[in-house]
Amino acid sequence: MLLRILLFDFDETIINENSDDAVVRALPGQQLPDWLRNSYREGHYNEHMQKVLVFMAEQGVSEDAIHSALEKIPPTPGLPTLFQYLQRFQQDFELAVVSDANTYFIETWLERAGVRHLFTKIFTNPASFDATGRLVLLPFHSHSCTCCPDNMCKQVILREYLAGRQKERGGAPFQRVFYIGDGANDVCPSLALGPRDTAFPRRDFPMHRLLLEMSQAARLKANIVPWVSGEDIMRCVPNFRLLLGTYFY
């Protein structure tokens, strides 16, 4: 029976940059005009990216060009090694992606990397090409969390997924939950983790700084292990090693 579940963010966690920035380089000028870049509203990034994809289509950026840009994105250091380890012990782990990117970007990259089969679920914003060749992006869901972007609360996703899987498993919960991320929107799901679980914030990224503040204020129950490479994560996952206390290296 699977006892451990690992949930991964995508941008700047599995891959070493933001996939939205990578596809923008498929534009003829390789960057957005100021009027579009400055149209972003805090908490409405999904809405902003919808406008970006419309603009890219108007500029003649094809599906092939977007696909090619995605395939060129490098993995974060050590993540291929971590995935090799997890594949070797696939019977012991369940993997899922929880990301504010979109289905097309994530599926394309994971397939190219040869690791799509490792992930049981991908929670992200729906995206597909329409008949005109435009990539259409939709919000993942609506929610009432005031801390998260309007289109996605990762804590809601985490809680619902774990509850659903526990029901499917005949009431047996996962003994350990590992959440791996980098951004500010990875903090909210970390607050749902228990004392036997571990949050892995990428060192010196927003998630790391914010969790440090919360840990000092005793708002966080989970163990915290900052990481630089996939090997850092791998060293903490085997043998159900329960970390004693909360550490920042």
232 is in an annotated binding site: no
**Whole-angstrom distance, CA of residue 44 vs CA of residue 95:** 28
20 is in an annotated binding site: yes
9 is in an annotated binding site: yes
11 is in an annotated binding site: yes
| Residues 102 and 126: beta-carbon distance below 8 Å | yes
Length of the chain: 249
* 204 belongs to the catalytic site: no
**Whole-angstrom distance, CA of residue 233 vs CA of residue 225:** 8
Q: Which amino acid is at 134?
A: R
DSSP calls for 189-219: HHTT--TT-EEEEBTTSHHHHHHHHHHHTT-
92 is in an annotated binding site: no
* 34 belongs to the catalytic site: no
**Whole-angstrom distance, CA of residue 109 vs CA of residue 158:** 23
Catalytic residue ranges: 9, 11
Q: Which residues are annotated as a binding site for Mg(2+)?
A: 9, 11, 182
Q: Which residues are annotated as a binding site?
A: 9, 11, 20, 100, 182
Q: Which residues are annotated as a binding site for substrate?
A: 20, 100
